[in-house]
Structure 1
Amino acid sequence: MMELSEENGSVTHASEAPVCPEPDSFLPQAAEDEEGGLPADFERLWKAAHDNPQDFTCWTDLLQYCEHEGHIPASRRALETFLARYPLCYGYWKKFADLERRAGNNNKAEEVCIQGLQLIPLSVDLWIHYINLLLGTLDMNLPGSPPRIRSVFEDAVLAAGLDFHSDRLWDLYVEWEKEQGNMKNATAILDRVLKVPTQLYNTHYDKFKEHLNSHEPKELLFPEEYEELRALCRQSQKAERAEQAQESEQERPPGEEEPTTPEGTDSKVREQVLLRRDKVYQDNEGEVRKRWHFEDAIKRPYFHVKPLDRLQLQAWHSYLDWEITHKQAATEGGYSEGLESEFTAQPQEGSADVVVARDDHGVRILFERCLIACALYEEFWTRYTQYLEPQSVDEARAVFRRACDIHLTHKPNIHMQWATFEERHGDLTEARRVLEALEKTLPGLAVVRLRRAALERRAGQLDQSEALLMEAVAESKQKPTLHAFYSIKLARLVLKLGRNPSRARRVLQEALEISPNNDKLHMNLFELEVSGDPWASAEAVQQCVTRALSAPLEPHTKILFSQRGLQFAEDYSSSIQSVLSVYEGHQKLLEELGGTKRGAENGDEDPDKFSKGDDGSAVAVSEQAPPTMPQVPITTPPPPMMGTDMSAQAGYGGYSSWYQQPQYGSYGYQNTWNYSQGYYPPS
């Protein structure tokens, strides 16, 4: 399906991205006038992939078929679409570049590599492929070719050189400089990689020693270091042979100078070079040992749509925990032997800012590696944005955009977190855009509409908030469950913020015409009436009770409404006759329903039979009664969820669990009154 190497690759933040021209489009567009029809089965496989865009196997079947047929226009079309959906599959970027090169489109092949590296600049394999492409197509006899190759190598090690599996890239860079005859540059590159904790760190030191022993030190070291070490060695030799040096000076003919390279100086210089590098190597070995068991626990560092098991997810979390803690400890402790200063824009060497920059760069690299293997898990994207936000709002926003626009287009929580992020930082326009785009992607997901309405309400746009809920009510008339829910939300907004009880009453009454069996609608209308003037609303309250008793509700719910009507009459009625009349009706209802516990009248209901509503109230729930509200439908199903993506971490607090559980939250009231004092005659 793809090349399974120890490959890592993902998008870094803007300051670390490779230096390459911005593409005019996401991918190179296929020529419209290419000759030849499509292969026989292309349309069938193409349709299967587009009808099931989350089915990775459909896409790979299409790509394998195109490759087998050798049809360039079909392959190009399939690869463009596939990589727009799965850009972390570095192996297919390589196949795309090879396709264009075989077709004689070397410039297009280079564009493909550049665009792939803009999306996954940590991909060591793709960098090597790009460099080999340039080495195979550029005329190295031209004066501009070697500098260009060297520039690409520098971009590569800046973007991916700190990856734990970047050894092949470093080795290729060293060997290329040797081939160019630039031994000093090769030495400098080896010096840099000696400070990077990589999987094959010890082989780099062995290669450095071999490199040093194969050439004269003067050929390998830059003049400053060579002269410094040479002077140090000469001083040591003079101290050891002080008396001999004095005699030699006396016997030397007048005008003859001391030999420029005393016997054995080069050997001493090599010793000093290795002495200095050995300290760097030992420090780096310590860093590798700290990370080794974390790296060993990661079994799949590349991207794949197959879910990771719990142990793999925990391994990434543990590694991130350690790296962040390591950064904090290094910053507080003044640790200064961290990552090579060339990798980040550095202040003066040795300063505290250098320490922070080095270790922060390592944390970011690990996050980016994690977001290859775990690209389909919201929790890691969320964690990365939380890490970046205190440092740079723009960088955190860029991570949200990558997650939502590319990898997690059908996972609502990360989109709602992004909208909350933008609202928190004052960009209401962007917050609105994010939620609107999500609602278009996942139409019918009620929590998104509620978030949009809440955003407008907080922004002071009460009319717009009300309009969004009214639109939702109108669009959901064919779905009684959803219609009832939106109606309740709209009525509460109109009543509590719009101060318009008559309009709220109309909203609930209209909803009851569609859903007369919805006990939540009845209960909210009842609450609206009892919250008004008790003397003016007495008739309306009893009408609510009568309507509920005549509706196709569960027996226990009818008893609850009858009891609430009796409680209201007891508390606010102006005559004992009206109280007794309501009481007699309640007793008659108990007799008609039959088998109902007397405790329902006396207020002795089992507290476990009340379920909390999202307003903090409670309503009685029958143990045998099925949920009255099915899950809110989603007309466009999202892709299979992985991990704990649908947890309650949706940006800020949680709405009621109605849109994640098999029923809505309940809206009702617990009975706390007891009528056992004999005030009414026994039934």
Structure 2
Amino acid sequence: MVSNCPTKSPAGASNDNLELEEVISKGSLDFDEWVSLVSDIEKIYPYAAHMARSCTMEKVVEVFEQAVSAATYSVGMWVDYCSFGMSAFEDASDIRRLFKRAISFVGKDYLCHTLWDKYIHFEFSQQQWISLAHIYIQTLKFPTKKLHQYYDSFRKLLTFLEEGMTSLDNSPKESQSEPFDGEIPMTTCCNDDKTYSITKDLVDSPVGLTSSIALKKYRIIGEQLYHNACELYSKISSFEANIQRYYFDVRPLDSNQLQNWHDYLDFIELQGDFDWAVKLYERCLIVCANYPDYWTRYADFMEAKGGREIANYSLDRATKVYLKSTNDVDAARVVLIDGIKTLPHNKLLLEIPLLHVHYLQGLMDLKV
């Protein structure tokens, strides 16, 4: 492929920019030519990397904040942000807060193992055993690609703790403690505060009955969470296996991939986990952003579940960003009208942002 990119040195940046604008303004580049153009620009302007390195930390943080605001549910974006935080932030608590924030957004993504691995590496480097033990429990809460590997790590940690624990027969009895022989309610397993408390008892308690009880509770919680996650894993693995693209691309998806996303969303909607549904829809829309039916489906589902603000926001993105070109006017109009129809008539002006009303009017004017 012959490159359309100007080939002057960075010293002639002004002329290069004019040539670049001329190439882009022709509007004749296909996808592969765009890829080639970007690659050539990166070669011509090697000082861009130097500029990135010379930025202040505050500026880099600002850029990352803009990035995660635009792509909140991108695992890769959060991994990059956390990697930067590990190398740039002096206070470990700031890094830990960033990881927790990232997990809150993408912790239910099937491919979030890259973030968990980074988080585990960080806590291990800090020798924060309570946090590390708690992370191993958290990795078992949801079916991810490395669920079984995380369970193996959990088992190894249990073995390590058991080997390091003195036999109860040789430990002083604690008069206020009763032997634990029962099950942990699943409400406890899903409660971060309670599981963290049990983990803290496990690590902090002196060798004896208390630490033994904490270890049993820790084991039971992990086993129950893993069992539940495995059941979900077996149900979603076929959907995940059929996903061939994980990123936005202007090239169309084939019918099998489109149907797989619909089937996956059908399944998730029946699980009763609103947070999981939101995250899967957002993940789907990264790949299927150019397909109006996924936007309308998302808005309809959110509206039906009481998430009107999320529904309006999805319509806003659909009509302002992804479906705004002239060729997509009809599609955008359908998205907007269908979204408005789902709202009670007497609350229309209160619930739909004024931007949507103006946009609808503009679309109608274009069709006259």
TM over 0.5: yes
Say if 1:398 and 1:266 are closer, same or farther in 2 by CA, change over 3 A.
closer
Q: Does 1:435 align with 2:360?
A: yes
User: Displacement of 1:169 after TM fit?
Assistant: 0.9
Give 2:81's match in structure 1, choosing from 125, 130, 136: 130
Say if 1:211 and 1:437 are closer, same or farther in 2 by CA, change over 3 A.
farther
Which residue in 2 is equivalent to 1:286? 231
Which residue in 1 is equivalent to 2:119? 173
Identity score, percent: 26
Which residue in 2 is equivalent to 1:387? 301
Structure 2 residue matching 1:108: 3-state secondary structure: helix
Give 2:283's match in structure 1, choosing from 360, 366, 369: 369
User: Displacement of 1:170 after TM fit?
Assistant: 1.3
Structure 2 residue matching 1:307: 3-state secondary structure: coil
Structure 2 unpaired stretches of 5+: 1-9, 166-172, 183-205
Which residue in 1 is equivalent to 2:140? 194
CA distance in 1, matches of 2:129, 2:62: 32
CA distance in 1, matches of 2:27, 2:33: 7
CA distance in 2, matches of 1:398, 1:107: 29
Which residue in 1 is equivalent to 2:23? 48
Give 1:326's match in structure 2, choosing from 271, 276, 281: 271
Which residue in 1 is equivalent to 2:348? 426
Q: Does 1:60 align with 2:35?
A: yes
Say if 1:431 and 1:176 are closer, same or farther in 2 by CA, change over 3 A.
closer
CA distance in 1, matches of 2:361, 2:22: 28
**Is the Cα contact below 8 Å between 1:175 and 1:186 reproduced in 2?**
no
Q: Does 1:398 align with 2:313?
A: yes
User: Displacement of 1:233 after TM fit?
Assistant: 4.4
Which residue in 2 is equivalent to 1:311? 256
User: Displacement of 1:55 after TM fit?
Assistant: 4.3
User: Displacement of 1:321 after TM fit?
Assistant: 1.1
User: Displacement of 1:66 after TM fit?
Assistant: 1.9
Q: Does 1:415 align with 2:361?
A: no
Amino acid at match of 1:317: H
**Is the Cα contact below 8 Å between 1:45 and 1:61 reproduced in 2?**
no
Structure 1 residue matching 2:257: 3-state secondary structure: helix
Say if 1:276 and 1:104 are closer, same or farther in 2 by CA, change over 3 A.
closer
Give 1:156's match in structure 2, choosing from 79, 102, 114: 102
1:154-180 Cα shifts (integer Å, max 9, x gaps):
110001111001012112212212222
**Is the Cα contact below 8 Å between 1:376 and 1:408 reproduced in 2?**
yes
**Is the Cα contact below 8 Å between 1:304 and 1:373 reproduced in 2?**
yes
User: Displacement of 1:234 after TM fit?
Assistant: 7.6
Say if 1:191 and 1:44 are closer, same or farther in 2 by CA, change over 3 A.
same
Larger Rg: 1
CA distance in 1, matches of 2:124, 2:142: 21
Say if 1:59 and 1:433 are closer, same or farther in 2 by CA, change over 3 A.
farther
**Is the Cα contact below 8 Å between 1:297 and 1:312 reproduced in 2?**
yes
Q: How much is the aligned-residue C-alpha RMSD, in angstroms?
A: 3.3
User: Displacement of 1:189 after TM fit?
Assistant: 1.7
Structure 1 residue matching 2:13: 3-state secondary structure: coil
Structure 1 residue matching 2:301: 3-state secondary structure: helix
Which residue in 2 is equivalent to 1:120? 71
CA distance in 1, matches of 2:97, 2:109: 19
User: Displacement of 1:48 after TM fit?
Assistant: 2.5
CA distance in 1, matches of 2:280, 2:23: 36
CA distance in 2, matches of 1:234, 1:361: 34
Equivalent pairs counted in the alignment come to: 317
Aligned pairs for 1:226-625 within 5 A = 231=177, 233=179, 261=207, 270=215, 273-327=218-272, 359-390=273-304, 391-410=306-325, 411-417=328-334, 419-420=336-337, 421-422=339-340, 424=345, 425-427=347-349, 429-438=354-363, 445-446=366-367, 449=368
TM-score, normalisation: structure 1: 0.42
Structure 1 unpaired stretches of 5+: 1-34, 76-97, 220-226, 237-259, 328-358, 450-683
CA distance in 1, matches of 2:63, 2:163: 42
1:180-199 Cα shifts (integer Å, max 9, x gaps):
22211111122122111111
